[in-house]
Amino acid sequence: MADDGARRRGHAADAEWLAEVARAAGQDAGGVPVELLGDYLPLLVDAAVSGRRPKRSELEAVSRLGRHAAEQGVSAGKAVQLYLSAARRLWQQLPLLVRSPDSEVVRGAADAVLQVIDDAVATLAEGYAAARRELVRREETLRRELVDDLLRGDSDLGGLVQRAEPFGLDLTRGHQVALAAPSRRLPDAGAAISALEAVIFDRLGDRDVLVATKEGLLVVIAPAEPAAGASPDRLVRVGELMHAELSRLRRGGPWRVSVGRPHPGLYGIARSYEEAREALTMAQRLQFEREVVGAHDLLVYRVLLRDQPAMVDLVQAVLQPLSRSRGGAEPLLETLAAYFDTGGVATETARRLHVSVRTVTYRLARVRKLTGYDPADATDRFTLHAATLGARALSWPRQPLPSV
């Protein structure tokens, strides 16, 4: 009975000693939960005393602890630090070594303990990495589903608010949507997303900003105004910021970026997205030179495109006579477009078209003679400008006017 009592007291002392080693190691690692050590310390003791290597089931338990660390948000570095610190502290206090003067005993125990440390830390890291990959895939899936529902304007407002909260998105605020289209399909959008997240989070913060992909496009949902207390100059023009960062990538360029107008609330996100999509489609169709376009820049085209029969009639009635020119309608129409884009400045028009000012004035005179509308007259200028915009939207004269 006396021997049994002594053994129990010895086991209790060992357990208390190992618990103290675990607590100290947890503090060394910055407060990491000591539960993540599991049976790691007894494994080290066994290795030092008997040279026993861990069983497969014991290493599988360490792997599960690595997964738990990842799921609890403990960094990989701190998890490894916990294990190494625990091993170091245990080695310094191991009773067998403290009492043994035999260097061979110490050397053998050290080899066995180092082997266990090597096996355990490698297994811990593998479990951690596997869990992180699963968490990343799960987060990507949740983010993609959330973005799809936000851009569609899902009617389940309560559910969306709850799903958006972990991503830092406040659906009571106003937001705008920006889209980036590569010139060719990206084999992996991960690099582009990472680049955008790095620069946008740095400039706007990681709350109320969401970066994802949809149908081959990069999507950024950003706040329409700075958060309360934030400096207004932190709200940069999202489109220019996106284009500048994406242009640094080796693949995907040249990029075209479109930005929807800011709108409040959940349905404002879907509305801004539709505007950005329409602006992107229209910019590609109209072969805009600008690589960043906003929905507000294309409002007049939206008005024109809504009544295509009237637009076709306007182009036919006003600009069709330009086809009788010796060089065809295109040079005259190109001159009109540049003339209106430059605010009616002939010298700037000539510079933009790489022709002489005399050529510009000649062409404008030909337009006046053929159409009966004078580009220099305020009333006629409005009609000519609207017809020129309509022709650009219809890709005329490169393509025949549609039948109405």
- Per residue in 341-388, pLDDT tens? 888 899 999 999 999 999 999 999 999 999 999 998 888 898 999 899
Query: Distance between CA 283 and CA 280 in Å, rounded?
Result: 5
pLDDT of residue 301: 74
Rounded Cα gap, residues 130 and 125, in angstroms: 9
Q: Which is more confidently placed, 115 or 97? A: 115
Cα dihedral value 236, 265, 161, 228, nearest 10: 50
**Alpha carbon 366 to chain centroid, angstroms:** 51
Q: What is the pLDDT of residues 159-176, one digit of tens each?
A: 888 888 777 788 888 889
Give pLDDT, residue 16. 83
How many Å separate Cα 56 from the centre of its chain? 41
As a whole number, mean pLDDT of residues 293-302 equals 80
pTM: 0.59
Q: Angle at CA 18, nearest 5°, toward 13 and 20?
A: 95
Query: In angstroms, how far is CA 160 from the centroid of its own chain?
Result: 19
pLDDT at 131: 86
Distance CA 204, CA 242 (A): 12
Mean pLDDT over 284-313 rounds to 80
Contact 277, 359 (CB under 8 A): no
* Mean pLDDT in residue range 255-263: 91
Q: What is the mean pLDDT of the chain?
A: 83
Q: What pLDDT, on the 0 to 100 scale, is given for residue 97?
A: 55
Least confident of 79-88, 229-238, 295-304: 229-238
Place 277 in a pLDDT band, splitting at 50, 70 and 90.
very high
Fold type of domain 307-393: Arc Repressor Mutant, subunit A (1.10.10)
Residue 380 tokens read as 């006629």
Could you confirm whether domain 168-300 is CATH 1.10.10.60? Answer: no
**Structure confidence at residue 5 (pLDDT):** 42
Residue 100 pLDDT grade (very low, low, confident, very high; cuts 50, 70, 90): low
- State yes or no: pLDDT of 199 exceeds 90: no
CB 66 within 8 A of CB 126: yes
pLDDT value of residue 58: 92
pLDDT band, residue 296 (cuts 50/70/90): confident
Per-residue pLDDT reduced to its tens digit, 210-225: 888 888 899 999 888 7
The pLDDT of residue 155:
65
Structure-token pair, residue 23: 């607590």
Percentage, residues of the chain above pLDDT 70? 89
pLDDT tops 70 at residue 4: no
Helix, strand, or coil here: 225? coil
Closest CA to 127 of 58, 45, 53, 27: 58
CA 190 – CA 196 distance, rounded (Å): 10
Contact 345, 352 (CB under 8 A): no
Query: Does residue 60 contact residue 119 with C-beta atoms inside 8 Å?
Result: no
pLDDT confidence of 2, banded at 50, 70, 90? very low
Give residue 11's pLDDT band: very low, low, confident or very high (50, 70, 90).
very low
With CA atoms as reference, report the closest residue to 242 among 273, 211, 206.
Answer: 211
Over pLDDT 90: what percentage of the chain? 32
Q: How confident is the model at residue 38 (pLDDT cuts 50, 70, 90)?
A: very high
Chain length of the chain: 404
The string over 252-287, giving b where at least 16 C-beta atoms fall within 10 Å of a residue's C-beta and e elsewhere, is beebbbbbbbbbeebebbbbbbebbbbbbebbeebe
- Cβ atoms 295, 278 nearer than 8 A: yes
Cis peptide, bond prior to residue 397, ω within 30 of zero: yes
Does the structure show a pLDDT above 60 at 12?
no
**With 70 as the cut, is the pLDDT of residue 80 above it?**
yes
